[in-house]
Chain A
């Protein structure tokens, strides 16, 4: 039975529909990320769950109880905001203690719990400091401890790492995950950073324009995106617009070249599709090597982008720009301006349908 459920949640601000009837179902102890670009509705959804806003339609159910009408102070959820949420007039300890004071716990029990939590987030020594004396990363740790102090049944995080430095971000997200797993607390996490979402979540829900495009495990989202938007948003993809020539053999035509891809099997002739190839799967060879064979696209190397252990090459093909990720050691033999051949693997690619019939500016394959 699902622990946290969002049922047909709807919210509009005047003419703008921020959430268009979304459905999410989470198990107890699960870590789910709402991932998407700005304005997709993810923060709106989170705020509805927290109770800072009322939905126009739908409901929020936790452990079988409908919380849609309950005020935020009675929902028993812990929230970590993006920034600035620590009370400036209280020390870290006093901040963490706040929820417990409101609940009128005994002083000794409060002190003990505060101490435990600050240790848990690695700030046992900094308890007496005021927020303005703490770094951004430390402040967010205190915010996390404060949210956890009240032993909430759900933990909500609203882009908690967006305002922090890159290195701190990576460090802190791993800690958040570690603590979450240790405590087994059901967690709803909002972010626009796909790498963040993929690295820490049990499940990811990609959102766009108020709707959920796809929900799945991180590897599902990465290797099997269900819509063009998801394919574009998660990781980098080569997107080749093509038309199916033969559904039995899996042959498609892109930019005048015939390619065979397993994923096209079972499609009908004439169907317009998007062939998705991950940059790391594209094999490159200089044209002069005289590489023959099928499934090859020709082009010219246009840029090198150094990314550390991997270098990203952009290739100007006949119709599209291709992206290939290669180990840095290899790219010296593929300088800018060199004509190359890019091999598209038969397996390991994905196919998304774009609809029936030819595109207006593409020649009808039957005419050739």
Chain B
């Protein structure tokens, strides 16, 4: 049996860390409760401003819908791809892994500038609508996270045996994919999805530069006139990410977590 006491140096580091990370959140809370007249606590004015503002619901709805769209497109594109690579083209896997690193390494600011240029000639319904251009951009942005989550999921199951068993029982490719493979990588897919959710709900750079009105850009705009309300919205943003992470934790209980959990800067 090993000793069961906490080293004093560990306690110090943990307290310092806790302070550094919690104080800004507390500050946000206090700020959001400030009254505009007195500049001090406590007033719900910031919160009622947000609730009354129609743009709040519009932008949060847009961001949420974009998340769902991104998740759906990502899963539709990547699940069959990763499945196929694991099954038939194992040597291509490292290549795919390398490609998956590219959006990870390219700064979003550069990515968006490049994409805006690339799609300049694209039709109106794609280029000028968030559900077109921005969703596409987000699929690229979320690709690394989705890929590594799915890849880990596929690696943890025996793809060949499952596929062969299914086919020997007479199932078609589609049936195999939907009825056999999908349920087995459910955890990985959910993990990637929650991560994507957190990323898209918080993504500012690309939305801002392509002039779409998502939730994070809304927060920025609010700050120009109502800083205390902006603090309340920031707190809400934090809670959204927190919930997404808890869902991720809940879904993936007992499994090793991929270290790539950070996206927005």
B-binding residues in A (CB < 8 A): 13, 18, 43-44, 52-53
Contacts and interface: CB of A to CB of B under 8 A. Distances in A.
B196 to A, nearest CB: 38
A52 B3 contact: yes
A142 B263 CA distance: 46
Contacts of B1: 13, 18, 43-44
Contacts of A52: 3
Contact of B4 (A13, A43, A44): A13
B68 to A, nearest CB: 47
Contacts of B3: 52-53
B87 to A, nearest CB: 33
Interface string B1-20: 10110000000000000000
Contacts of A13: 1, 4
Interface in B48-99: none
A20 to B, nearest CB: 15
Contacts of A44: 1
Contacts of A43: 1
7 contacts: A13-B1, A13-B4, A18-B1, A43-B1, A44-B1, A52-B3, A53-B3
A52 B1 CA distance: 11
Contacts, number: 7
Nearest to B4: A13
Interface in B25-45: none
A52 B5 CA distance: 12
A9 to B, nearest CB: 15
A132 B130 CA distance: 54
A43 B3 CA distance: 13
Q: Which 7 A-B pairs have the closest CB atoms?
A: A53-B3, A13-B1, A44-B1, A18-B1, A13-B4, A52-B3, A43-B1
A13 B4 CA distance: 8
B168 to A, nearest CB: 41
B170 to A, nearest CB: 48
A41 to B, nearest CB: 10
A229 B1 CA distance: 23
Contacts of B4: 13
A256 to B, nearest CB: 47
Nearest to A54: B3
Nearest to A52: B3
Contacts of A18: 1
A18 B4 CA distance: 14
A190 to B, nearest CB: 14
A13 B3 CA distance: 9
A53 B2 CA distance: 8
A77 B36 CA distance: 69
Contacts of A53: 3
B255 to A, nearest CB: 25
A221 to B, nearest CB: 26
Nearest to B5: A54
A43 B1 CA distance: 8
Nearest to B3: A53
A53 B4 CA distance: 10
A47 to B, nearest CB: 8
A134 to B, nearest CB: 26
Interface in B122-165: none
Nearest to A16: B1
Nearest to B1: A13
Nearest to A43: B1
A53 B1 CA distance: 10
A44 B1 CA distance: 7
B1 to A, nearest CB: 6
B77 to A, nearest CB: 40
A19 B91 CA distance: 56
A105 B1 CA distance: 35
A240 B3 CA distance: 43
B69 to A, nearest CB: 47
B191 to A, nearest CB: 31
A295 B134 CA distance: 95
A251 to B, nearest CB: 48
A290 B3 CA distance: 64
A18 B3 CA distance: 12
A43 B2 CA distance: 10
B4 to A, nearest CB: 7
B252 to A, nearest CB: 29
A53 B3 CA distance: 6
Nearest to A41: B1
Nearest to A11: B1
A44 B2 CA distance: 9
A334 to B, nearest CB: 47
B122 to A, nearest CB: 54
Nearest to A53: B3
B228 to A, nearest CB: 50
A49 to B, nearest CB: 15
Interface centre among A43, A44, A52, A53 (most CB of B within 10 A): A53
